[in-house]
Structure 1
Amino acid sequence: MTVRADLEALCAQPIADLGAGRTAERWLTMFDWALGGSVSVARLAEAHADAVAILREGGRDPVKGAIYGVWASVDPRYELRLDGSGTLSGTKSLCSGLGIVDRALVAVVGERGEQLLVDVEASGPTVISDVTGWATPAMFDTATGTVGYTQHPVEIVVGDDAWYLERPGFWNGAIGPAACWAGAAAGLGAYADAKAVTDQHQLVARGVLRAEAALCQTLLRDAGRDIDDHPTDQVAARRRAYVVRHLVERSATRSVDAFSRAFGPRPFVSDGHLAQRVSDLMLYVRQQHGDRELAELGGL
């Protein structure tokens, strides 16, 4: 199957709404996406689920049948501007799903400097995308690169100035990627469980991987219940997101370390799927901005 076909299959699966009483199920569904299949496809599916949640929070419906990306990264070298006539021009970097997704929620700058979110087509005659700057094989299947719009008509603006960052769901939704990190790491445990262990070190690694997976699942369940209990508490949501993202990132790092120390280089050179999983995971967890997030957590 292609990345698009795999992505369509995940996006067609039912997933619990964010903050509606079953958020723990939502995170565990994303965990399972990354556990059982491609980490890159899970990352794209998480973005689509996030886009649908954002649109619903903004009182909008997603375009029927469309698969979405969320292009909201900030890079001072690039800027997309929405002018007074409602057309979009400029460039955006780190956009995932180029040539794969149908539409995207894109963070842009309005004519008076407003921070806006627009729902636009991801391709077309006024759109140019370029993935040649993605030099690493890690997360290569996400088709991440730079996209440029030239006087592209925009019909859908979601929310008003700064709504995207200030809405309650922003920090609640930030746990979605961590759910995928956790599932990607748990995939190492599934590999270890399927292998005939040859020594005590591999048994130890298997135990570590099982414990780390259980830890992450517990974190995700607890976070989901907290979100459902306090869906609009912004300070609690931000603190919760930083804590969960940090702990899952640390757990994923411990899992990779335990696996590689016990099983050595052989799995990485003989099993392409496993090698890709580890490569994808170690890049993906860098969405947890390390000490910057910890400093912000300490300052809350």
Structure 2
Amino acid sequence: MSIDTLHDLDALTQLLRSFAERRQALSVDPDLAQLIRALQAGHFDRLPLPGRGDTLARWQFLAKVAGCDLALAKLYEGHTDALAILAECAAPHLSGDGIWGVWAAEPPTARARIVAREGDKVWLAGSKAWCSGALQIDNALITAWADDDQPQLVAIALSHANQGLDVDNWQAVGMATTASIELTFNDAPGIAVGRPGQYLSRPGFWQGGAGIAACWYGAAQALAEHLRAQCRRPHADPHALAHLGTVDTALNAARTTLRECATWIDQPPDLDASLPVRRVRAQVEQAVELVIRHVGRALGATPFCRDSHFARLMADLPVFVRQSHAERDLAALGQQVTEQPAGAWQL
């Protein structure tokens, strides 16, 4: 399906507005799986693939969903990322009609292991941590490890009896409804997707990392709109206007960087995008932190206590943006910068 960006973004906006109005009227957390299926029904999950000439449109859809609800965006981004990965690894036939996730975190205390293999069929033991949305989705792509010590992407169905869910450790307040829990495997079946090591080596690995930054940006933009609305009132507080100017400066820089990165990705789609993506993630993360600070200081306690959309974004966004690895990511960026030629920053 081809995306008519302006038309379909407007249709998505209307759908998300109806979600928000229903949630506010009922005063309950949304059923994330139901919302994702509504997005599927409207074909809003069939986004342009990254690096195929319309990466910016892909990120615009991610940002739009994030501005509505970050828990929904977490599942939506994971689902659309899985579809892109399956396409890139020549396995789109596996996508089916269910909701997908991608779980590739590798903490030292949780590792999924391939204990047997027969063609593309594999059997898993061990565990996988940080499985966002495991209580709401149908299938997932996970990284698992065999004797060759390379991560193998494996497609699993969440319904299989040889898998267990450990929900006790999830105590989050922000992003609470995503339920990023631990999954355990006891000779559980799966299907190998792509070659060993392909998950990390493929161009889409870094391209997908920039899609996360588009979600961060969408949420920060939505928070900034609350401040802009306040400042449009007659006799706006000059301090609030100063905060708005600061927020605008940060968001405009992040927006420009995202657009430039999308163009870069589409021009040489098979090249290593790690440097531009690390830059855009760092730029957007800094903008997000600035927006959270200045919007909160400008508006005070009232929207935190009386505006459910604002309060939810303010609770969720600091948790979501911690998908960044902070100074570790900046150190990796700095190392790459040392390898750039002198004068690389010239205007």
* TM-score between the two structures when normalised by the length of structure 2: 0.81
Instruction: Indicate if the aligned counterparts of 1:164 and 1:170 stay in contact, CA closer than 8 A.
Output: yes
Q: CA 1:123 to 1:201, structure 2 compared with 1: closer, same or farther past 3 Å? A: farther
Q: 2:86 matched to which residue of 1?
A: 55
Higher mean displacement: 271-280 or 255-264: 271-280
Tell me which residue corresponds to 1:87.
123
Between the two structures, name the one with larger relative contact order (CA 8 Å, sep ≥ 6): 1
Contact 1:81–1:89 at 8 Å: present in 2 too?
yes
Higher mean displacement: 199-208 or 126-135: 199-208
* Residue aligning to 2:266: 228
Is 2:116–2:124's contact at 8 Å kept on the other side of the alignment? no
Question: How far did 1:123 drift?
Answer: 2.9
Give 1:112 shift: 4.2
Give me the whole-angstrom Cα distance separating, in 2, the residues matched to 1:113 and 1:20: 31
The alignment-based identity, stated in percent, is 33
Q: Which amino acid aligns with 1:4?
A: A
| Residue of structure 1 equivalent to 2:239 | 201
Q: Which residue of 1 aligns with 2:219?
A: 184
- Deviating more after overlay: 196-205 vs 45-54: 196-205
Q: Which amino acid aligns with 1:242?
A: R
User: Which AA in structure 1 matches 2:74?
Assistant: R
Q: Is the 8 A contact 2:210 2:281 kept in 1?
A: yes
Normalization by structure 1: what TM-score? 0.93
Whether contact under 8 Å (2:83, 2:95) holds in the other structure is no
Residues 64-121 of structure 1 show CA distances to partners (whole Å, capped at 9, x for unaligned) of 1111110100111112111224211221111101111110000001244332110111
Q: Which residue does the alignment assign to 1:174?
A: 209
The number of residues matched between the two structures is 296
Give 1:148-163 correspondences, 5 Å limit. Answer: 148-154=184-190, 156-163=191-198
Q: Deviations over 1:33-88 (max 9, x none)?
A: 111x1111111111111111111110001431111110100111112111224211
Stretch of structure 1 that moved more, 79-88 or 286-295: 79-88
**1:287 matched to 2:309:** no
Aligned ranges 1:65-144 → 2 under 5 Å:
65-85=97-117, 86-144=122-180
RMSD of aligned residue pairs (Cα, Å) = 1.7
Q: Give SS of 1:224's match.
A: helix
Q: Verify the 8 A CA contact 1:138 1:283 in the aligned structure 2.
A: yes
**Separation of aligned partners in 2, 1:110 and 1:127:** 19
> What is the distance in 2 between the residues matched to 1:194 and 1:15?
31
SS in 2 for 1:208: helix
Q: Unaligned regions of 5+ residues in structure 2, if any?
A: 1-29, 337-347
2:66 aligned partner = 34
Q: Unaligned regions of 5+ residues in structure 1, if any? A: none
Q: What does the per-residue CA deviation read over 1:191-221, in whole Å, with 9 as the maximum and x for residues that have no partner?
A: 2233347511222233333443333332222
